[in-house]
Structure 1
Amino acid sequence: MSAKQNILAKLRKSLVGTTPLADNFDEALVTEPWSYPPEQRIAQLRKQMEAVHTEIHLSTGDAWPALLARLLHERQLPSLLVSPATPHGKQLAAHWDANAGLPTLKAYDRPVEEWKAELFNDTPASLTGTLGAIASTGSLIVWPTPQEPRLMSLVPPVHFALLKASEVHNNFYEVQQKFAWAAGMPTNALLISGPSKTADIEQVLAYGAHGPKDLVLLILEDQ
């Protein structure tokens, strides 16, 4: 018997003859104080995220590519990393094809080992989608996929993110219930509330130390 099996066997044996305690979990404790009327969720999310230096813009499902192009131009960013396999990647590519003179679109379509140096040293910005957001904490829910890997939101200095207004949830508990995380947690769910920051060095707050120094959120209002 391995050490692990031995420990588990002792734990199971210690429970013999005992009576399980009733589950007295009160859901209201983690939901009621952190729930908002639907019309206030975006305002609450914006308040929380702007407090930690997130830049937020309101747009629509049709207009956001033009807005993104303008933001790239204003920041003088020469290229943008996108996933061509995603719906928003395809929509962005169509807008780029119809308009000349826009920054270069870089496709994340190959293993990172083939272009690691370029990704880390010559990729100034990226665009990813989100699974939703949490109003109470001001957090984006980013669930990486093979088409849109985790590195897209962690490596480039500027991270642009898309969020549907209808997918702003009240609190973390609500998100766990909706996506049934108790039945199987995703391996790489990320909760992002703002640009990367640290105060480890001399207790001075610095942005961009361990990831993007700028987070730009485009909220797409329902049409």
Structure 2
Amino acid sequence: MSKARNNIINRLRTTKPEPCHFSERDHLSRFNWDKEERINRFVERMVAVRAEIIHASKDDWAEKIAEICQEKRLKNMLVSPETAQGKVLYNMVDQLPDLQSYDHEIEDWKSEMFNQTDAGFTTTLGGIAETGSLILWPTKHEPRLMSLVPPVHIALLDTNQLYTTFSEVVKEQGWVDKGMPTNALLVSGPSKSADIEQTLAYGVHGPKELVVVLIS
């Protein structure tokens, strides 16, 4: 087994790959959508997969989230107190449901997290208009489970960070120079899955609802 393994490795090291030539692809070069077009296309694609879009301004986005919580009758919401946006929400606790923070190991409160948490609020790194996707870059303050476990995911997106394509995101945000994230998430609508008969079902393996608050 060891000899066969070494033979394979030696062949890989000595084989010179043939040069690859790619023609220019439209989705990599389309950067001519203005901001209004990016917003329209993003909203259209998100709504098509049953996401909710709430338009807000820099001054009233927190109040919009309070309204969402009231309309959905949320009893609690997972919010990081360490982000700038989270601090704003913690300063208006009288208008919001019980705010919870992800400040301890998941093993210590797994049952509560999976069975008793109504919603999770996260910020975003940006959005992609072409596919109708949110870009989440999980951190220790906003771990991945905050957007994947609660039945309702409320995400905040500044339209100034709404890009045309994924390649534009990588280029404009300098992912290559700054280092690729260890865990970047692209979220396109609430959770969905299809069985062998290709019947699409929502909310099977994650949030049943996705609410995107767009700040313009």
TM-score, normalised via structure 2 length: 0.90
The amino acid across from 1:14 in the alignment is T
Looking at structure 2, the residues matched to 185 and 3 of structure 1 have their Cα atoms a distance apart, in angstroms, of 34
Tell me which residue corresponds to 2:170: 176
- Percent of pairs identical after alignment? 48
| CA 1:14–1:214: 2 relative to 1, 3 Å | same
| CA 1:72–1:181: 2 relative to 1, 3 Å | same
Q: What is the CA RMSD across the aligned residues, in angstroms?
A: 2.2
| Aligned: 1:39 with 2:36 | yes
Q: Deviations over 1:55-110 (max 9, x none)?
A: 001111221111111111111111110011111110111122xxx36311111111
| CA 1:110–1:169: 2 relative to 1, 3 Å | same
| Aligned: 1:93 with 2:90 | yes
Unaligned runs of 5+ in 1: none
Q: Deviations over 1:159-203 (max 9, x none)?
A: 000000100001011112234444643221111110001121653
Q: Deviations over 1:21-80 (max 9, x none)?
A: 3x6444553334574122211011000110000000111122111111111111111111
| Aligned: 1:132 with 2:126 | yes
Kept after mapping to 1: 8 A contact 2:30/2:164: no
Match of 1:148, SS state, is: coil
The amino acid across from 1:73 in the alignment is Q
Unaligned runs of 5+ in 2: none
Report how many residues are paired.
214
Kept after mapping to 2: 8 A contact 1:165/1:219: yes
Looking at structure 1, the residues matched to 79 and 57 of structure 2 have their Cα atoms a distance apart, in angstroms, of 19
Tell me which residue corresponds to 1:48: 45
TM-score, normalised via structure 1 length: 0.87
Q: Deviations over 1:138-163 (max 9, x none)?
A: 00001111110000000000000000
